[in-house]
Structures are given as C-alpha cells and as structure tokens.
Amino acid sequence: MRYPSDLTDGEWALICPLLPAARRGGRRRSVDLRRVLEGLLYVLETGCQWRHLPKDFPPRSTVWGCLDLWGYDGTLARIHEALYLALHEAAGREASPSATILDSQSVKSAEKWGLGGDPVGYDAGKKTQGIERHILVDTLGLMLWIVVHPASVQDRDGAALVLNRWTRRRFPFIKTVFADQGYQGPKAEAAIARIGDWKLEIVRPDPGPKGFALLPKRWIVERTLSWIRRNRRLANDLENLARMAEAFVILTMSKITLRRLKNHDFTGQVLTNMDGLK
C-alpha cells in the first residue's frame, strides 16, 4: 500500500546512494532500506505510536533501530548536509552562507514511560514544561544545525551550544548571526566570540504601535520552525532522548530539501557532496 508520506522514485534515486552500504561478509541484507525510510517518514508525518506502525513496513524495532543508529553515527547529519549543499548550489549560492538566523522553539513534553530519559525543563517566559529546539538557518530558511536541550536553558546560554566549533568548521564564511532580544547582552556575545569571528546582530521590533509586525530576517527562522512543527510527531516532545528528537528534526529538514530537489536532476551533485563529507 502506498502512503502520502512515501518517497517517489525520483526522491529515492537521490537519497539511495547516501544511505550506508551493507557490510561485507555474512548473509546478504534482507531489509529494504527504502521501506525503512518510508516508515520513518510515516511516523514523522502522522505522529503515530511505534506499535501502531502499519504491517506493510518493516518491523517497528527495525525502523526505530535504523533511526537510532543513523542519528548516533551521523548518517542523518551527513545526508542532510549533502542535500543542503546541492540545493544551495542549485540556487546559485556559495556552499557556506555568510548570514544566518538563530532562534529557539519551546515544545511541551508529553507523558513519557520508562527510566533513563533526558531531563526536561520549565520555560517561565512561555510557561512550557518540556524541551527547546535551538536552530540555526540560512537566509533561504534551510537549517544548518540544531541542538535540543531542556526548556529551562536561557537563549543566551543555548546560543553557545549551536554556534560551536563544528558549526565554524562546516560553515567557515559565516559573518553575521541575526537573533532576537533574548540573545542580547555580554554573556551571549562573549560565548560566540570564543568560537569564531561572528557578529551578533539583534533584530528589535519597531517601537511603534503594538501588534503583528514582520521583522527583518526573523520571519525566516520563524517560518522554518513552523515547517518543523507541521509534522505531527514534532507538534509535542514525544521522545525520551534529546538525540532522537534531533534526529526527527534533521529528517524533517532532509525531507523538505529532498522535495525541493525532486524536480531537478542533481544526483551527481549530491553524490559529489557526499564524497566530500566522508
């Protein structure tokens, strides 16, 4: 049976070469990785519980295990970066952006079972008990990096978790980081200055009449956060581990990037980008 979340043949042709190859030796791989990936997309878009995964996908333990493994070993991050670079270059832009936008999104945590989960926190400003998704995007709204942490962590402290040495190494041409007033102050500026030569520019609202106003640059990251939350699995925090929550967000942005590429033949460019990341 086909589902709306399933991949098209063109999308699968782009992403298939980016998935891990079967190990040499032993018996042949019996799991269909396309159906595994489509199972992950089904859970992501519908928000269903793992035990309610339809039987025409591989077993739920296999689908969950692949998400856990690919998030842990960096496979999802490498796939997302290869697709990101292909789309960025297709838009006629440099591989590394020079301007980025930083923001966070507090998400209410649902009731969770079992022990050993990562802690959650309380965001007093938004009155939310849960986690916070801290993301960095470029001026196209494409995500560069994400960190999930308890909602009790202040924005100025969370900025240093996103703007770290990994971000600096992967995107060396970043010069300006736009952010809201939650990041102002010497603490955030000092944390960012320790990692790279970045300029933190605070976007302040117009002091005129109160009401809705489209803030320069800020609307871009707000739109990306709405893209993420459009998936029912990410409407609330349902994951015990922060790295699993990050894996679902990376999968979301990979899906968005992949579907922007589907009408064009960028397979060779994607493979070239993937080779450069190994």
What is the tens place of the pLDDT at every residue in 126-168? 899 999 999 999 998 999 999 999 999 988 888 889 988 888 8
Q: What pLDDT does 254 receive?
A: 95
Q: List pLDDT tens digits, range 231-240.
A: 999 999 999 9
Question: Is residue 231 one of the residues assigned to a domain?
Answer: yes
**271 pLDDT above the threshold of 50:** no
> 3-class DSSP state for residue 191?
helix
Range of the domain at 153: 9-277
- Residue by residue, DSSP assigns 192-244 as HHHH---EEEE-PPPSSS-S----TTHHHHHHHHHHHHTSGGGSSB--SSHHH
Q: List pLDDT tens digits, range 220-233.
A: 999 999 999 999 99
Least confident of 10-24, 29-43, 126-140: 10-24
Q: What pLDDT does 1 receive?
A: 79
pTM: 0.89
Question: Is residue 263 one of the residues assigned to a domain?
Answer: yes
Question: Is residue 105 one of the residues assigned to a domain?
Answer: yes
Cα distances (angstroms) measured from residue 113 to each of 42, 66, 116, 233: 22, 21, 10, 17
Place of tokens 């080779």: 275
Higher pLDDT, 113 or 219: 219
**Contact in structure between 94 and 119 (CB atoms under 8 Å):** no
- By CB atoms closer than 10 A (0-12, 13-18, 19+), residue 55 is exposed
User: In the chain, pLDDT over 70 holds for what percent of residues?
Assistant: 91
**Contact in structure between 5 and 31 (CB atoms under 8 Å):** no
How far out from the chain centre does Cα 14 lie? Answer: 19
Higher pLDDT, 263 or 157: 157
Q: What is the CA radius of gyration of the chain?
A: 19
Mean confidence (pLDDT) of the chain: 87
For residue 275, give both structure tokens: 């080779």
Question: Is residue 217 one of the residues assigned to a domain?
Answer: yes
Question: Is residue 265 one of the residues assigned to a domain?
Answer: yes
Q: What pLDDT does 51 receive?
A: 94
Residues 6+ apart with CB under 8 A from 173: 94, 96, 97, 98
The structural domain count of the chain equals: 1
Question: Is residue 1 one of the residues assigned to a domain?
Answer: no
Question: Is residue 268 one of the residues assigned to a domain?
Answer: yes
Residues 6+ apart with CB under 8 A from 22: 28, 29
- Residue by residue, DSSP assigns 194-206 as HH---EEEE-PPP
**179 pLDDT above the threshold of 60:** yes
Question: Is residue 4 one of the residues assigned to a domain?
Answer: no
- By CB atoms closer than 10 A (0-12, 13-18, 19+), residue 96 is middle
User: In the chain, pLDDT over 90 holds for what percent of residues?
Assistant: 54
Q: List pLDDT tens digits, range 95-119.
A: 889 999 999 999 999 877 666 788 8
**213 pLDDT above the threshold of 70:** no
Which residue type sits at 163?
Answer: L
**Residue among 212, 157, 218, 168 nearest 190 (CA):** 157
